[in-house]
Amino acid sequence: MLRKFACGLLASLGIAQLAFAAGIAVSPLLLEVVLPPGTSYQDAIYVTNTGDEPIVVEAKVVGFMAPEGLPIFLEPELDTYPYSGRELLTLEPQDVTVQPGESVAFQFRVEMPEDLEPYGGRYVAAVFRAKPPEAAGAQVIVAAEVASLFLLNPGVEVLPRVEVSHLRVVPSPTAPGEWVIEALMANSGNIHISYQQLVGHIYITDLDGYLVGEVEMHLHTMLPGTSHFHREVWRPAGELSPGTYRVYLDILALTPLGTEPQRCFHFVEVELGQ
């Protein structure tokens, strides 16, 4: 099964802005393929020269992570991510000259091995580097890179697991009267979880349980085996009396059909209004 995601998930992974760069466009930008062990899938990625001059496009395959919601491409010699899929994707051709307005198809094949260690999703990027054709004489060459991201799902025995810890509240360093609510979030499962599967709220109460504030959390897609500090900003509606308050963080993770949703509930007592 192949899913081509729309702009919402692309933005949550920080790559929507990479659709066009230095006269190059790539489609699709993000693919999720349900690929049981021992099976393969092949298709094409299209690269278009949107500029006015010929370009040379070079293709390479790398693993990637997204600990803060932004893709980090992993060079092979530095790729120690256990869920990297850089060895599962092949691309042809590896380089080609593309004329202005022309689109070129790069054929790809992804193959999920029979034995996965560790078992779970795999994450790999097809990176396309565009540069002017080589010319005689000294010159400064400006190159741009655009990527298609692959989220490979073996389909069975996979489950994300969202964990929350280190909840704290600190005054905003830039805006008096605002508070930064921060927590360490991790996906200790073996598959990614989309921002569309995550619903989060923060509630602030006094010690009597009276609600004094609420913040909707803006969460992003989380890959397995990654963690990040998530931050939200709360500005009280009125003057906040100095005292002890309780801050509750409540996240609902909608897991695959047939499994129970996960709920992460964490709270801390803090002194606010000082």
Token look-up 């580097």 returns 129
pLDDT digits (tens, 9 = 90+) for 172-185: 999 988 999 999 99
> What span, in angstroms and rounded, lies between the C-alpha atoms of 252 and 197?
8
CA 184-186-190 angle, to 5 degrees, is 175
HSE of 8, CA atoms in CB hemisphere, 13 A: 6
Give the pLDDT of residue 231. 95
Task: Give 241's DSSP letter.
Answer: P
Measured between alpha carbons, how far apart are the two ends of the chain, in Å?
A: 55
Q: Which of 206, 198, 199, 268 is closest to 236 using CA atoms?
A: 206
HSE of 129, CA atoms in CB hemisphere, 13 A: 11
In contact, 251 and 200? CB cutoff 8 Å: yes
- Residues in Cβ contact with 236 at an 8 Å cutoff, skipping those fewer than 6 apart: 177, 179, 212, 213
Beta bridge pairs of residue 209: none
> What span, in angstroms and rounded, lies between the C-alpha atoms of 65 and 149?
10
Which domains can be identified in the chain, with CATH numbers? 2-153 (2.60.40.10), 162-272 (2.60.40.10)
Give the pLDDT of residue 3. 43
Locate 64 and state its tokens: 């990637």
Give the pLDDT of residue 238. 86
> What span, in angstroms and rounded, lies between the C-alpha atoms of 246 and 169?
10
Find out whether the peptide bond into 133 is cis, omega within 30 degrees of 0. Answer: no
The pTM of the full predicted model, rounded to 2 decimals, is 0.85
> What span, in angstroms and rounded, lies between the C-alpha atoms of 27 and 47?
7
Strands 144-153 and 30-34: parallel
What number of residues does the chain have?
274
Give the pLDDT of residue 140. 52
What residue spans of 45-137 are helical by DSSP H?
none
Listed as ranges, residues in the chain with pLDDT below 50 are 1-12, 14-21, 136-138
Q: Which of 197, 212, 214, 215 is closest to 151 using CA atoms?
A: 197
